[in-house]
């Protein structure tokens, strides 16, 4: 086994953790990680050094975006129990629940927050993974933290004013 494959193998637990937090579904996360690993091993010739972990997160993030785009084209099917709790916000609906607060974030904010807080990536690494400027990463992170804090404090989500 070469050093590239060893590096990939060492990163699998972190990829699984990030994918599970991102998708909130163990089976979907495992599929996403498997697809990431297959793509990385097939594309070994495209990796020209640098941070292997960031490269793998970039592949996983792009695969997840493609998955979300495909899901957006299909109608959503919710179980009755899921429907009853999906739109609920605030502490009166089940306490200070971080999982619901994360679910209320838009995808870009959630993935940025997870990469920084859960995976410990630097702002520069997250910017490289997501393909955005570092200022965008800081903005997304600040908005995500503010929204989670507001949720945990029991505030209702703010409505956007359209002029």
> What average pLDDT does the structure give for the chain?
83
- State the average pLDDT over residues 49-67: 91
Of all residues in the chain, what percent carry a pLDDT higher than 90? 44
Helix axes 52-72, 3-23, angle to 10 degrees: 40
Residue range 97-155, pLDDT digits in tens: 778 888 888 889 999 999 998 888 999 999 998 999 999 999 999 999 999 888 888 77
Q: How far apart are CA 125 and CA 143, in angstroms?
A: 19
Which CATH code is given to the segment(s) 1-79? 1.10.1740.10
Q: What is the pLDDT of residues 59-110, one digit of tens each?
A: 999 999 999 888 878 766 555 554 444 444 444 444 447 788 888 888 899 9
Q: Helix or strand or coil: residue 30?
A: helix
CATH classification number, 93-158, choose in 1.10.10.10, 1.10.2020.10, 1.10.1780.10, 3.30.300.30: 1.10.10.10
Whether the pLDDT of residue 57 is over 90: the answer is yes
The model carries a pTM of: 0.66
Q: Which two tokens stand for residue 70?
A: 């495909």
CA–CA distance, 116 with 22 (Å, rounded to integer): 13
Classified as helix, coil or strand, 154 is coil
Segments making up each domain of the chain, as ranges: 1-79, 93-158
The predicted structure's pLDDT at residue 83: 41
Cβ atoms 32, 64 nearer than 8 A? yes
Q: Given pLDDT bands bounded at 50, 70 and 90, which one contains residue 159?
A: low
């Amino acid at each position: 086994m070469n050093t590239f494959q060893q590096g990939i193998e060492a990163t699998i637990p972190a990829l699984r953790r990030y994918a599970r937090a991102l998708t909130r579904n163990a089976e979907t996360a495992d599929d996403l990680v498997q697809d990431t690993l297959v793509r990385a091993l097939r594309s070994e010739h495209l990796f020209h050094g640098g941070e292997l972990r960031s490269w793998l997160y970039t592949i996983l993030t792009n695969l997840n975006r493609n998955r979300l785009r495909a899901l957006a084209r299909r109608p959503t099917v919710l179980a009755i129990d899921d429907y009853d709790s999906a739109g609920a916000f605030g502490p009166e609906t089940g306490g200070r629940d971080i999982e619901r607060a994360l679910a209320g974030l838009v995808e870009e904010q959630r993935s940025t927050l997870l990469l920084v807080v859960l995976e410990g990536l630097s702002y520069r690494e997250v910017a490289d993974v997501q393909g955005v400027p570092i200022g965008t990463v800081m903005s997304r992170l600040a908005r995500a933290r503010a929204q989670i804090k507001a949720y945990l404090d029991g505030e209702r989500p703010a409505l956007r004013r359209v002029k």
